């Protein structure tokens, strides 16, 4: 029984953390397609292509830089800066869900893409 309680506590603690990113962009024309090998091959993979939208990305980055929604790491982005193509946060304040919301709901993009964190 102790193992179950420990496992549950560990899951609860790790579930609190959100994926944050150092770079993100608003995108459109996102297409995912199989790449290489057959469906049963070890080389079978998926490739996603998309068009980065600098105007929408600047819009979303500006919204994120002004964000002040609480004490969680992704609720503010004091270091968010638009570099002409993508939104950068050297400290990794960009939350994926938040960027997706700004891109799609407020800035007219199809979605967002971000680094792996």
The rounded percent of the chain whose pLDDT value lies above 70 is: 83
Mean pLDDT over each residue of the chain, to the nearest integer:
84
Please state, in angstroms and rounded to a whole number, the distance separating the CA atoms of residues 67 and 19. 17
What pLDDT does 36 receive?
Answer: 76
Domain limits, the chain: 20-114
CB atoms inside a 10 Å sphere around CB 72: 13
Closest CA to 114 of 101, 99, 103, 102: 99
Mean pLDDT of 9-33: 73
What pLDDT does 73 receive?
Answer: 87
Mean pLDDT of 96-103: 96
Is the dihedral angle over the CA atoms 49, 105, 96, 76 positive or is it negative? positive
Tens of pLDDT, residue by residue over 22-68, are 999 999 999 988 887 776 777 778 888 999 999 999 999 999 999 98
- Helix segments in 1-117, DSSP class H: 2-15, 54-66, 96-101
Closest CA to 19 of 94, 112, 109, 107: 94
Q: What pTM does this model have?
A: 0.77
**Radius of gyration from C-alpha coordinates of the chain:** 18
Q: Are 53 and 82 in contact (CB under 8 A)?
A: no
What pLDDT does 117 receive?
Answer: 65
């Amino acid at each position: 029984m102790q193992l179950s309680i420990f496992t549950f506590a560990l899951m609860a603690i790790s579930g609190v953390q959100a994926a944050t990113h150092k770079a993100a962009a608003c995108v459109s024309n996102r297409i995912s397609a199989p790449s290489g090998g057959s469906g049963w091959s070890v080389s079978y993979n998926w490739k996603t292509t998309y068009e980065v939208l600098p105007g929408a990305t600047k819009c979303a980055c500006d919204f994120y830089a002004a964000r002040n929604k609480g004490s969680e790491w992704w609720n503010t982005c004091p270091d968010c800066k638009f570099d002409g193509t993508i939104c950068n946060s050297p400290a990794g304040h960009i939350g994926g869900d938040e960027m997706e919301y700004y891109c799609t709901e407020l800035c007219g993009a199809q979605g967002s893409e971000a680094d792996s964190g």
